[in-house]
Amino acid sequence: MAFLSGLCAFPITPTDSDGRVDTAALRQLIARLCTAKVDSIGLLGSTGTYMYLSRQQRRRTLSEALDETGGGIPVIVGVGALRTDEAIKHARDAKALGAAAGLLAAVSYAPLTDDEVFEHFSSVARRSGLPIVIYDNPGTTHFRFTPALVARLAQVPGIVAIKNPTDGGDAILGHLQDQRQIVPKGFSIGYSGDWNATQAMIAGADTWYSVLGGILPEPCMGIVRAAQQGDHAQARRIDATLVPLWELFKTYSSLRVVYTLAEVLDICRAAPPLPIMPLPIAAKHQVADALARLRTAAVS
């Protein structure tokens, strides 16, 4: 089995306007994921707004989350930074606190070359000793990992997995098959992009890195378990109930929608860090309506 498999759920990091972590709300979010028995937790990913938090705030968030899990669920934590030395510090912090792996993106203000990204990832893996997951997120970083670069990085000791974007459901199977040919056995291949994730799991991906799973883990776990058991019809049936949320993700961004879901579910009333604005009232009503329809579908 791959190092990472199943559902990796990505919660928000609730903070106040000054960036102070709301530890009570964070623990409530983590407790929900533990109750749902997700396979791993993706802390301080893009949904966890890691790039908006200081090193101290990141450490506090990880410490609280690990304490809440009690070591029962692996925690994968974002360790990205603009500078390689800063990313190494974040990765060392994560290792010292007990994270299972670090999620590392090619974040930069200046465009990066493949060789620069290779050195960045190799240095973080080598100098921190923390297992590293490649985070390919071109929509945010404007850098896309080529097959040649993935193949090089997959041979670096300590780089153990990749979180791929999904451009379209029809392309996933071919992409997965091609990527399997260039990485070592046991190297975990996973996908984000929630509205295409069911197709990825049916195609045989190891891991679904899920935004919705961080706030509504139960239906996402249902999709993953059905796909793992070969019940593709059931996986698609559950996915179909989530289409209203997928459409809202596409319209407003998954980040803004899950902050609203946290409010509707009465977990917390945190807003994303400025300059990201919360959804307007009309859009929040759409999210609440979509959640109500999902609950009705789950009962029927």
- What is the reported pLDDT for 299? 65
Specify if 67 maps to a domain. Answer: yes
pTM: 0.95
For residue 168, pLDDT over 90 is answered with: no
Q: Strand runs (DSSP E) across the chain, as ranges?
A: 6-9, 40-43, 75-78, 101-105, 132-135, 159-164, 188-191, 207-210
Mean pLDDT value across residues 194-210 = 97
* pLDDT one-digit tens code per residue, 22-33: 999 999 999 999
The CATH number given to whatever domain includes residue 83 is: 3.20.20.70
- What is the reported pLDDT for 123? 98
Number of domains in the chain: 1
* pLDDT one-digit tens code per residue, 46-80: 999 999 999 999 999 999 999 999 999 999 999 99
Annotated active-site positions, please? 135, 163
What is the rounded distance in angstroms from the CA atom of residue 158 to the CA atom of residue 2? Answer: 14
* pLDDT one-digit tens code per residue, 106-165: 999 999 999 999 999 999 999 999 999 999 999 899 999 999 999 999 999 999 999 999
Give 300's pLDDT tier (boundaries 50, 70, 90): low
Average pLDDT of the chain is 95
Specify if 282 maps to a domain. Answer: no
Establish whether 140 is an annotated binding residue: no
Q: Which residues of 196-218 are buried (b: 16+ CB within 10 A; e: fewer)?
A: bbbbbbbbebbbbbbbbbbbbbe
Specify if 276 maps to a domain. Answer: no
Residue 210 near residue 196, CB atoms below 8 Å:
no
Before 275, cis peptide (omega within 30)?
yes
In this structure, the number of other CB atoms found within 10 A of the CB of residue 22 comes to 18
What is the rounded distance in angstroms from the CA atom of residue 219 to the CA atom of residue 242? Answer: 8
Look-up of token digits 């979180």: 163
Specify if 253 maps to a domain. Answer: no
Specify if 269 maps to a domain. Answer: no
Specify if 136 maps to a domain. Answer: yes
In this structure, the number of other CB atoms found within 10 A of the CB of residue 127 comes to 16
Q: Which range among 168-177, 213-222, 240-249, 273-282 shows the weakest confidence by mean pLDDT?
A: 168-177
Segments forming the whole domain that contains residue 164 = 6-229
